[in-house]
Amino acid sequence: MSNLKIYNTLARDKQTFVPMVAGKVGMYVCGMTIYDYCHIGHARMMMAFDVIYRWLRASGYDVNYVRNITDIDDKIIKRAVENGESIGQLTARFTQYMDEDTTALGILPPTQVPRATQYVPQMLALIEQLESKDLAYQGADGDVNYAVRNFPQYGRLSGKSLDDLRAGERVDVNTGKRDPLDFVLWKSSKESEPEEVKWDSKWGKGRPGWHIECSAMSCALLGEQFDIHGGGADLQFPHHENEIAQSEGAFGHTMVNYWIHNGFVRVDNEKMSKSLGNFFTIRDVLKKYDAEVVRFFILRAHYRSPLNYSDAHLDDARGALTRLYTALDGVDGDGQPLDWNEEHAKRFAEAMDDDFNTPLAVAALFDLATELNKTKSPVLARQLKGLAGVIGLLERTPQQFRQASVGEAAGLDEAAIADAIARRKAAKQARDFAESDRIRAELLAAGVILEDKPDGSTNWRRA
């Protein structure tokens, strides 16, 4: 296998990765709550674990990668009611949008994508186990809560002590909680809520709390204990802390061996937020930048580091990615398999084995490109394209990348250029040559040169 070391948030140190079953890895990552478009922070998280997934597979592991969808939640209910649609309609639509965004960014689909609403029986069974161990109780308001003070290990992942967490807090008299730190496992139904979010239980009609969803789904698909659990740094507390309390409280043993958290996204060195007006959906970004440029921009930073989003950084990423593609221009690979014993490949693998260090891996790609520029060696071309492909880069031809870059720079994507060409063809067939010439001139102004072929088709290239 490999010499992989992973920074384990729980241990606060890099540790040699040893899977529970030789050659196999079970990995669970907290996915999206589906009620709106995914933003660049979501892209960063999914990209981080896409690269981890890719490297584990490249290292020879059989990976069972589970990334859930939360399709029942207060925000989901509120948005569906506002829209006058069902929960299912809302979540189906935004799941499709998420899949379109991740496909554009080259993010591989996980092995399994469970939806929370499919696992309510498992959640109820887990809550009953907790209740039998005096770790869950039903409050006067009907909600079933987790009794945090009865789980002495609470706070290990986040490094927070119960005394610190409780300082200055008091129980809200309007809830059924015994302690302000207790969190909800099962929410009692409200009269105003849609019937589709009301499930029967021994505690009355209700729906699951957010934290219990992941404990139930990860256990159902990976077992009571598994190798890797990941998500954004914002989930470390309270979500992942609460998952540990639930799963370890119920089963009496370790839940996860390696906890992995990716860093935050900042925008021009400020926290990204809608209130600051610096909030970008993936779709916003892809209207302006080629998807591979965005992917390359994200991979140039280590997954645990803060990622500073700005147009200047994306412009720089475009230029850097162009240099890699330029090295491949006019040089075809020799068709042989990737050689992991070659010098640059060894450096690439060492970087990836060191807690998935993509900045160092990318540096090895640039050194390889420099050599390729000098030698025009088909062997080096094969190595460059093969190594980059391991992390989802350089999977187009240089010409395809140049064409995409032209459209990107002009605010046009390939689909928009194809549409313009189709409109020009229709104008020519209608003998509206003035309109045909206008479209040609419009594209030329955007840096796109059309080349009409004898068979009636049209190619386009960079000006």
Q: Which residues are within 8 A (CB) of 206 and not within 5 positions of it... i.e. 6 or more apart?
A: 142, 143, 144, 186, 187, 188, 189, 198, 199
Cβ neighbour number for residue 242 with a 10 Å cutoff:
26
C-beta contacts of 3-8 below 8 A and 24+ residues apart:
3/353, 4/55, 4/56, 4/59, 4/352, 4/353, 5/353, 5/354, 5/355, 6/228, 6/258, 6/260, 6/355, 6/356, 7/260, 7/304, 7/355, 8/257, 8/258, 8/259, 8/260
**284 alpha-carbon distance from chain centroid:** 17
Separation of alpha carbons 361 and 346, rounded Å = 10
Separation of alpha carbons 354 and 59, rounded Å = 13
Distances from the Cα of 76 to the Cα of 73, 201, 211, 297, 433, angstroms: 5, 22, 16, 31, 52
Say if residue 198 carries a ligand binding annotation.
Answer: no
Q: Which residues are within 8 A (CB) of 195 and not within 5 positions of it... i.e. 6 or more apart?
A: none
Say if residue 261 carries a ligand binding annotation.
Answer: no
**Continuous H helices in 145-281:** 162-166, 210-222, 241-251
**344 alpha-carbon distance from chain centroid:** 28
Say if residue 243 carries a ligand binding annotation.
Answer: yes
Cβ neighbour number for residue 150 with a 10 Å cutoff:
17
Amino acid at 102: T
Separation of alpha carbons 83 and 241, rounded Å = 34
Indicate the annotated binding residues for ATP. Answer: 274
Indicate the annotated binding residues. Answer: 30, 214, 239, 243, 274
Indicate the annotated binding residues for Zn(2+). Answer: 30, 214, 239, 243
